[in-house]
Amino acid sequence: MNQEVPALTKSIDESGRVLYHYWADQTWDGFDSLVKYLEKHWDGVPIEEVDEVYSRRWVLRFNAISIAICHDGLKGTYFVRDDGKSDQTLLESIEADLLRRLP
């Protein structure tokens, strides 16, 4: 039986934050595509960019909300609210839109 991984899944990290795992493209180019999508369709503005050998972490600002987009060799690519707030409304909207757009 061949089961494909969904394009996007959610998990809870050790500190209780909701992580939105972007499985559609786990490459660095996929990370770039996700950032461009958030800039174009959600008016995200990069305010922090850290690119290291095996990981990347960019923070985008959406009005008063900060979202970190991360790529980690062990965890893959994911995005998470980065401002300490628990309201997931924007992230859930992004998740729903991505699921509509991705195969």
Mean pLDDT of 50-72: 95
Q: How many CB atoms lie within 10 A of CB 21?
A: 19
pLDDT tier for residue 3 given thresholds of 50, 70 and 90? low
Strands (E), the chain: 8-12, 18-22, 45-51, 55-62, 65-72, 76-81
d(CA 16, CA 14): 6
Both tokens of 62, joined, read 């959406």
Give the pLDDT score at 4: 77
Residue 10 reports pLDDT greater than 70: yes
Lowest average pLDDT, out of 31-35, 38-42, 74-78, 86-90, goes to 74-78
Mean pLDDT of 74-88: 92
